[in-house]
Amino acid sequence: MDSHQFDSHKLVFFFGDGEAEGDATMKNLLGGKGANLAEMTRIGIPVPAGFTISTEVCTAFYKNNMENPRNLYWRVEAALGQVERVMDSKFGDPKNPLLLSVRSGARVSMPGMMDTVLNLGLNDTTIEGLIEQSGDRRFAYDSYRRFVQMYGNVVLNVQHDRFEKRIERLKEETGKTQDTEITADEWKQLVADFKLIVEEETGGQFPDDPMDQLWGAISAVFKSWMRPRAEKYRELHGYPSDWGTAVNVQSMVFGNMGDDCATGVCFTRDPATGDKRFYGEYLINAQGEDVVAGIRTPQQITLEGKKIINSNLPAMAEVMPKLYGELVAIYRRLEQHYRDMQDMEFTIQSNKLWILQTRNGKRTTKAALKIAVDMVQEGLITKEEAISRVDPKSLDQLLHPTLDPNAGKTVLAAGLAASPGAASGKVIFTADEAEEWAEQQDEDVILVREETSPEDIHGMNAARGIVTSRGGTTSHAAVVARGMGRPCVSGCSAVKIDMADQSFTVEDIVIRKGDWITIDGSTGEIMKGKVPTREPALTGDFAAFMGWVDECRRLNVRTNADTPDDARVARRFGAEGIGLCRTEHMFFEGDRIIAVREMILAKDETGRRKALEKILPMQRGDFEGIFREMKGFPVTIRLLDPPLHEFIPHDKKGQKEVAASLGTTLGEVKERVEELKEFNPMLGHRGCRLGITYPEIYEMQVQAIMEAACKLVKEEKFTITPEIMIPLVGNVKELAFLKERCVTVCERVMASFGVPLTYLIGTMIELPRAALTADEIAKEAQFFSFGTNDLTQTTLGISRDDSGGFIQEYVGKAIFEQDPFVSLEKNGVGQLVRMGCDKGRLTRPDIKLGICGEHGGDPDSIDFFEKVQLDYISCSPYRVPIARLAAAQVALNNGNGKMKKEEKK
Amino acid sequence: MDSHQFDSHKLVFFFGDGEAEGDATMKNLLGGKGANLAEMTRIGIPVPAGFTISTEVCTAFYKNNMENPRNLYWRVEAALGQVERVMDSKFGDPKNPLLLSVRSGARVSMPGMMDTVLNLGLNDTTIEGLIEQSGDRRFAYDSYRRFVQMYGNVVLNVQHDRFEKRIERLKEETGKTQDTEITADEWKQLVADFKLIVEEETGGQFPDDPMDQLWGAISAVFKSWMRPRAEKYRELHGYPSDWGTAVNVQSMVFGNMGDDCATGVCFTRDPATGDKRFYGEYLINAQGEDVVAGIRTPQQITLEGKKIINSNLPAMAEVMPKLYGELVAIYRRLEQHYRDMQDMEFTIQSNKLWILQTRNGKRTTKAALKIAVDMVQEGLITKEEAISRVDPKSLDQLLHPTLDPNAGKTVLAAGLAASPGAASGKVIFTADEAEEWAEQQDEDVILVREETSPEDIHGMNAARGIVTSRGGTTSHAAVVARGMGRPCVSGCSAVKIDMADQSFTVEDIVIRKGDWITIDGSTGEIMKGKVPTREPALTGDFAAFMGWVDECRRLNVRTNADTPDDARVARRFGAEGIGLCRTEHMFFEGDRIIAVREMILAKDETGRRKALEKILPMQRGDFEGIFREMKGFPVTIRLLDPPLHEFIPHDKKGQKEVAASLGTTLGEVKERVEELKEFNPMLGHRGCRLGITYPEIYEMQVQAIMEAACKLVKEEKFTITPEIMIPLVGNVKELAFLKERCVTVCERVMASFGVPLTYLIGTMIELPRAALTADEIAKEAQFFSFGTNDLTQTTLGISRDDSGGFIQEYVGKAIFEQDPFVSLEKNGVGQLVRMGCDKGRLTRPDIKLGICGEHGGDPDSIDFFEKVQLDYISCSPYRVPIARLAAAQVALNNGNGKMKKEEKK
């Protein structure tokens, strides 16, 4: 839009004395701050009068070679006139001067733009008026020098320390140490000195004309919109440049003009606990920044607050009972109006209360839950609103042990926050020893390794927490740790492990085997020694809230669980079934790995079948345990997926042990390992490819599944519908080949038990070709489960284990908005998921669709899964509550929320 | 269709005496053989009368519980009556019996189905008629026992050796050694004995009634359609089971009834050379199988033939001049009619000539070219038809040395036919030694390795051929060898290499360093010693033919070439530019690898830039050489693609050398190697990801390209439009980031030379996400080159280096129709290529589209590339002629052939 077209718009929006031209809905035009000031004014809250120059002016400014639209000038003057009338003073008036603040304000809060300029309108003439009004010459000159300093810095770009050094010099010269000791005359001298500094630095006079000051500040706000820092911030957050910023011009009020003045901040409820308790701090004769800065000890606003912190300082309720009453009325009014806990700033000037700002208050997760539940019970908000108020990711804080925030800690190093929670333990460097110390000596241990592999699972399970020096947040260690609910810090490259010495070093600090460390998987920090932790407590509010959440969502939430233990934890967190049970994790447990290795080393099918017979009863037992825990809920079991070489040790010592335990030679073991070696195991001989070359493996697994199910159905009257999942299918013929064999086994087992079960056979969709030909695959598959981890790897051509070298740089350079292994990449991977859903339903309208990748626990990804109408999502047990909440929110956002209107309070 | 519906069809098709109910177009209904018999009859060729039972009867037979449609019986009887009338004899008549042959015949020639039954209709009564007709009792009983033997075996499933042993016993008892010594009575006794054998084996009587014999044979043909061998064959070739087979019932004619009888086979032109020369062999008083079996020496048909082989035996032209004249007239007629070289079988019975079969004759590639060119010049066929007659893949035979077919050879082992051609050389086990022996001692060497890596390139180039014991037809060795035109046998697992001993063994044969071997990369065979080879000669026919090919095609054909040498070879084979110049191959040449390693080991950007400065002039020289060779043709240069670890040795010895040559420690080299190690290098830190993390590498390469181009343009008036290609782009932001930097370098170089060049910047489309978001990527890319190798790997999730373990099994089980790394997989990978084209053109209608994967040289894939209307295909130099011909054929098949009607002869 050019400046000509722009004439038809209203450029400037007045607010003051109960009337405002804007309101809270106009954030895009007035910015967040401007809209809220207008809204408060409208509902009768005492707000210092002012006006907002709209964001469209900013846009026009940039379209018009950095010049203001010509018709802006008289409109600003007109609005200023309205402010003068309401505030009963005059801008630039020597007797009764109106002073202004100028602030930027975009539609979202955005660092990097212009700081506030206060006290605008002061000059050598108007200062006299301020002295007379305030009766405090020192206050007036202090205000004046603050103005010159702020304006010089913020508007005229003079380095801050130029002014600070001048003050320091004055203190040195006069032998003073505190600002409070500086006299009125000294401040007056500094005003003159500051102006000289500005002259030196900018080559121009400091503007004395208040109108010049105002226009300078307005332009500075507009220019700050395109500051590199602001641009960078927008780029990172994906905010477009054409939003523009508004400018808020507001009359000054002073909390530091005497003892009938004060300033404070307050919350309508306790932001730490969520308790319904008005809470805040104030200071007599002070400015806003004094409360925050901590130079003077702030006083409590309420008597209750005074009692809680056991303070001797008088509460505002005692000192200013009338104004306190007004403040209480206002906070109630604002909370009712905004229907959320408010964080307010106020100033009292000469016994008159002004509200300078209100906004929804930041709070802890615990408080967020309590406030949401209380407000529903108070009838203030609906359940749906309550649900939308809590950030799903923040729930994680409630599910894991946390560090005691009051405890001291010595941070050794920081890696990636790979799996949340805090834990302390003795450092151990091998999985076997971790298990041994934990089980036999009942020690708490932290397993520290360069990286983990499936062979370390037992040690990871035995440990309280895991540290790796390599690998990202989706490395083996991270994924498995999240699944087990163990805290994990991954990719901590500062940790240099010396296996020979059984120690690790961080710079020059050496930590030896058996030394205590504490890790915080929510921050990635590794600390020396034992730092106290707190156990999570799922309060009644949590249960009530999650109940509403479950009423609201359309998506079912299942869990990825490989053991009865995992299944039990997940049920406690509300999982409605298992979306992914990885059978290979069972292969590592206890003695069965020996039989598995015997199978892999067998020379022919007969040898493999012999070994598989030994594994059969163990797998059947596993499945029985899992079915038992998940009684009544669906269980999807994935047949063997990883390449066989993952089951054989790659070091000579391990291979020797294998050879000994199987009665074969090291040479034979080595030869087989060599045969199984792959350049790109991710794209190698795994998944259904194993099932096709060694059908007997899948046959054994299906037999174990069906025997376990039939037994429970027959003997204990369970209801079980096993879902057998074939991994890594890329071609319908693979699935057809394997399905035929699976069905044969299923029918045989059912016949032998005399139990007619319903069972489903389906597939993972985790290769691009599977999604591209989902219409063909759906002819054979009764369900699809999108394996978005592998689908991301193949679609983007990025190995998640190797992405460490560049993915942070990619996110930093904004090539990726987010790590695609954390949040589903929608244009490419999402396009394939959508295609898979559409094509699958085309062939088989009732096909069951789910997702079992890491993305199943990511709220942003869950929004996408709602949009493509999956039936369920599946994630690790500890992410189940997060997924439940996210599922409810996306159902509401996408108009799929099940909760009925009548049910609202 | 059930037997009721079937009534409306004509089931049986008569042919004989110049009239036929079928013709050559009815192959689907009558099978290939039946349709041709009908066609020959129609055009007046003397064919023994008979009838064909259609393939639909076979289908009905299977739909109807293996019973014939009821109305088949009278129709067969009616057709039989027609045959009897034409042949003037009667089926089952004791005086003048009609005898029949029964053969299966599907729409394509298919092994595994029923063999022929001859002499059907003989029994103890009709034998008397045959004795009288032939006047030869011994001939008659020999014919009878042959019938019982064939019928017993083929129709009644009695093991062949049961009969053979009986003949052996007779010979032992009588002291005879040859069949010819057996008397009429002895054959008669054998007939009786054979019938007893049948009785013993089947528990039933041998059918004496001729009609029972006929229906038994017809059913046997139908049943043979579902034989496991036939089913397997169909499965492998993807032929559906519902095609069914026809049954051909035809009257017998005998070439062995006396000296006025004969039998022979002939070709209308020489199938080895293509010369226009009637050619064939015959035998007096013999059966067809005698000519083939080689028991008697066959005689030449023509005098010319007699002269050529210097034979004393009389030619047919001499012995039977009238019949010879008839045969000449018939072969001319058939070649004219079928408009192709024919392979014919004939029989003369009592001075009457019968033609039993004609079909398009198999021929060598050389002959195919000559025949096609001659026939165009004779006006028999059009150029387009000539083009369609030559199998593109067969051209390969003409481009490489071949083994002398007359030379003896001792085959040691066979691996995969990875790169065509034959070569002999001394066995060498390391690339360095191969180069040394070849260059300094001027020896022919064959490089034998477990597998090759980019470090071996110089040795591969120096060798005459390459053998690997691991890896498939798309392994590094195979791909590089094809590119260089070196014969290669890959994945020969029988070859066990012992590096310490500098030898390899195949079972118990040991071949040591320096021993001679010969390899045939067209068959995969490895032979002991030196087997003579023949050099290829591109004849005038080849040039003429390829000229027409080039007139016809729409697709441009470029080559993948990394060196001026490659470029020169490819130009000779007709390449019209370079579609893929891999800059990394240059990194290995000579001393520059030292600078490359210095760059990789550098600690920071400054260090890298210092090393890159050393590489710059060398790369500039490479590009200059390539531009020079390709003068006037486009050259697409791909910036660095492989992960950096490929450039550093992985063995300790090599690392020590690197450390020494760079003046650093082994520890530092090791540490960097460790840092660069990747789990899945294919999906790792490579391609444009390197360009983004180390922009200075790409900047150097772009500078080298532009400086080379500007220099030639300025100093030698070349016309060059460099095409700079960024690999592995998955996201338009990657391309945008790098393009900006490339453009900066290009502009700087052009300014410094004062040369305004046109240059293009484009990308590989080799990741699924690139194809899925091609519309976005096309905003930045001026061209796309589909990298179908990597696109196949990622779309299918299969590492081609690791696919050896299961891909053959996949092809065997018909899960893949073909190896997807050889022939483009269309449903998945092809779907993405099509999507990439469509979306790319949507954004940028004139975007240049090409393909530079291995598939660029595969005819079946080229058909797909024509369908999606790529602008060009690019393949290794030795495949360029194949690609040219395939491109012409697909242009014609898809209606895009450029050749104009008027140009046809």
Quick: pLDDT tens for B737-747: 999 999 999 99
* Whether pLDDT at B358 is above 50: yes
Residues of chain A with C-beta less than 8 angstroms from the C-beta of B809: 692-693
pTM: predicted TM-score of the whole model, two decimal places? 0.81
Nearest one of A156, A125, A154 to A140, comparing CA atoms: A125
pLDDT band at A732 (very low <50, low <70, confident <90, very high): very high
* B294, pLDDT greater than 70: no
Q: Average per-residue pLDDT in chain B?
A: 91
For B103, how many CA atoms within 13 A lie in the half-sphere containing its CB?
22
pLDDT band at residue B731 using 50, 70 and 90 as cut-offs? very high
- The predicted-structure confidence for A244-294, as pLDDT tens digits, reads as follows 999 999 999 999 988 999 999 999 999 888 999 998 999 999 887 777 666
Lowest mean pLDDT among A415-424, A684-693, A770-779, B97-106: A415-424
* Closest-CA residue of chain B to A828: B769
Query: Taking CB atoms and an 8 Å cutoff, what residues of chain B touch A795?
Result: 767-769, 772, 794
Q: Do A681 and B679 touch (CB under 8 A)?
A: yes
Q: Where are the beta strands (DSSP E) in A691-755?
A: 722-726
pLDDT(B273) > 60: yes
Distances (CA, A) of B4 to A516, B1, B383: 88, 8, 49
Q: Reply yes or no on whether the pLDDT at A464 is more than 80.
A: yes
- Is A389:A372 a contact under the CB 8 Å cutoff? yes
Q: Which residues of A are identified as catalytic? A: 476, 852
Cα–Cα distance for residue pair A783/A764, rounded to 1 Å = 8
Residue A4: pLDDT above 50? no
The mean pLDDT value for B841-846 works out to 97
Residue B831: which of A772, A793, A795 has the nearest Cβ? A772
Distance from A788 to chain B by nearest Cα, in Å?
13
Phi first, then psi, for residue B563 (nearest 5°) are -140, 160
The per-residue pLDDT for range B219-261, each reduced to its tens digit, is 999 999 998 888 888 876 778 888 999 999 999 999 998 899 9
**Distance between CA atoms of A166 and A173, rounded to whole angstroms?**
10
The 10s digit of each residue's pLDDT in A644-674 is: 999 998 888 889 988 998 888 999 899 888 8
Residue among B400, B458, B476, B585 flagged as catalytic: B476
Nearest CB to B680 within list A680, A728, A831: A680
A285, A337 in Cβ contact below 8 A?
A: no
DSSP string, A486-534: --EEE--TT-EEETTTTEEEETTEEEETT-EEEEETTTTEEEES---EE
Q: Which of A688, A733, A775, A795 to mutate to test the interface with B (most CBs of B within 10 A)?
A: A795
Distance CA A893, CA B878 (A): 60
Interface test with B, best of A493, A499, A798 (most B CBs within 10 A): A798
To the nearest 10°, report the CA torsion of B726, B730, B732, B734. Answer: -60
Residues 6+ apart with CB under 8 A from B2: B60, B63, B64
The rounded percent of chain B whose pLDDT value lies above 90 is 71
Instruction: Compare A460 and A902 and report the one with higher pLDDT.
Output: A460
| Chain A residues touching residue B825 (CB < 8 angstroms) | 769
**Which sign, positive or negative, has the C-alpha torsion B503, B504, B510, B515?**
negative
Of A769, A809, A831, the CB nearest to B795: A769
The residue among A793, A498, A804 whose CA lies nearest residue B676 is A804
Task: Mutation target for B interface from A815, A824, A831: give the one with most B CBs within 10 A.
Answer: A815
Size of interface A-B (CB pairs under 8 A): 169
**What percent of chain A is modeled with pLDDT above 90?**
71
**A2: pLDDT strictly greater than 50:** no
User: What is residue A905's predicted lDDT score, i.e. its pLDDT?
Assistant: 33
CA distance B285 to B136: 12
**Do residues B642 and B584 make contact, with C-beta atoms less than 8 angstroms apart?**
yes
Residues of B in contact with A773 (CB under 8 A): 827-828, 831
**What is the rounded CA–CA span in Å between residue A299 and residue A265?**
11
In A, which residues are within 8 Å of B741 by CB distance? none
Q: Nearest CA to CA, how far is A802 from chain B (Å)?
A: 6
All residues of chain B having their beta carbon less than 8 Å from the beta carbon of residue A790 are 797
Task: Indicate if the pLDDT at residue B900 is higher than 80.
Answer: no
Nearest by Cα to B599 from B588, B590, B591, B611: B611
Q: What is the mean pLDDT of chain A?
A: 91
Residue-level pLDDT at B539: 66
Q: In B130-289, where do the E strands start and end?
A: 246-251, 262-267, 279-284
Closest in A680, A737, A769 to B802, CB measured: A680
User: CA-based angle B876:B879:B880, to the nearest 5?
Assistant: 90
Distance from CA of B72 to the nearest CA of A (A): 38
- Say what the pLDDT of residue B287 is: 83
Of A733, A802, A828, the CB nearest to B769: A828
If one compares A399 and B873, the residue with the highest pLDDT of the two is B873
In angstroms, the separation between the Cα of residue B700 and the nearest Cα of chain A is: 21
Q: Which residue in chain B has the smallest CA separation from A693?
A: B806
Distance CA A413, CA A466 (A): 14
**pLDDT of A899:** 56
Among A680, A692, A769, the residue with its CB nearest the CB of B806 is: A692
pLDDT at residue A1, as a whole number:
38
The DSSP secondary-structure symbol of A135 reads T
Task: Give residue A806's pLDDT.
Answer: 87
For A797, nearest residue in chain B (alpha carbons): B683
CA-CA-CA-CA torsion sign (A364, A370, A373, A374): negative
Interface contact flag, B767 A795, Cβ < 8 Å: yes
Phi and psi at residue A147, to the nearest 5°: -60, -50
End-to-end CA distance of chain A: 46
Q: What is the pLDDT of residues A562-582, one digit of tens each?
A: 999 889 989 989 999 999 999
Q: Give dist(CA A149, CA A163) in Å, integer.
A: 7
Residues A180-223: tens digit of each pLDDT: 899 999 999 999 999 999 999 999 999 999 999 999 999 999 99
B401: pLDDT strictly greater than 90: no
In chain B, which residues have their Cβ closer than 8 Å to the Cβ of A766?
797
Q: Do B795 and A767 touch (CB under 8 A)?
A: yes
List, in order, residues 6 or more apart from A397 with CB less than 8 Å away. Answer: A364, A365, A366, A420, A522
Question: How many helices (H) and strands (E) would you count in chain B?
Answer: 37, 34
**Across B450-563, where does the E strand assignment appear?**
465-468, 488-490, 496-498, 503-506, 509-512, 516-520, 525-528, 533-534, 556-560
Q: Please report the pLDDT score of residue B295 as a whole number.
A: 65
**Which pLDDT belongs to residue B35?**
94
CB contact under 8 A, B797 and A766: yes
* Comparison of pLDDT for A650 and A390, the residue scoring more: A390
Q: Tell me the per-residue pLDDT of B132-162, one tens digit each, with 9 for 90 and over.
A: 989 999 999 999 999 999 999 999 999 989 9
Contact B768 A809 (CB under 8 A): no
User: DSSP 3-state assignment of B244?
Assistant: coil
- Asked if residue B440 lies in contact with residue B462, where contact means CB atoms within 8 angstroms, the answer is no
| Distinct helix (H) and strand (E) counts, chain A | 37, 34
C-alpha closest to that of B217 among B80, B407, B40 = B80
Residue A901, pLDDT > 60, answer no
> Are the beta carbons of A680 and B682 separated by less than 8 Å?
yes
Q: What is the pLDDT of residue B8?
A: 45
Q: Do B815 and A790 touch (CB under 8 A)?
A: no
The residue in chain B having the minimum alpha-carbon distance to the alpha carbon of residue A795 is B768
Spell out which residues of chain A touch residue B679, defining contact as CB-CB under 8 Å. Answer: 681-682, 799, 801-802
Nearest in space to B179 (alpha carbons), one of B259, B263, B295, B294: B295
Q: Is the pLDDT of residue B823 over 70?
A: yes
Mean pLDDT within B843-860: 94
Q: How confident is the model at residue B899 (pLDDT cuts 50, 70, 90)?
A: low
Tell me the C-alpha distance between B162 and A812, whole Å: 82
Do residue B805 and residue A685 have CB atoms under 8 angstroms apart? yes
B562 vs B484, which has greater pLDDT? Answer: B562
Residue by residue, what is the 3-state secondary structure of A367-421? HHHHHHHHHHHCCCCCHHHHHHHCCHHHHHHHHCCEECCCCCCCEEEECEEEECC
The Cα A77–Cα A12 span in angstroms is 10
Q: Which of A450, A465, A453, A440 is nearest to A516 (CA)?
A: A465
pLDDT digits (tens, 9 = 90+) for B446-469: 999 998 887 788 899 889 999 999
Q: Which residues of B touch A798 (CB under 8 A)?
A: 683, 730
pLDDT of residue A5 exceeding 50, the answer is no
Q: Are the beta carbons of A681 and B680 separated by less than 8 Å?
A: yes
User: Lowest-pLDDT range, A174-183, A485-494, B255-264, B896-905?
Assistant: B896-905
Contact criterion met (CB < 8 Å) for A769 and B730:
no
Strand, coil or helix: what is B772? Answer: helix
Rounded Cα distance between B117 and B102, Å, is 5
Look up B742 and say whether it is catalytic.
no
CA dihedral A315, A321, A326, A329 (to 10 degrees): 70
Q: Which of B769, B799, B813 sits opposite A692 (nearest CB)?
A: B813
Q: In chain A, which residues have their Cβ closer than 8 Å to the Cβ of B813? A: 692, 733, 737
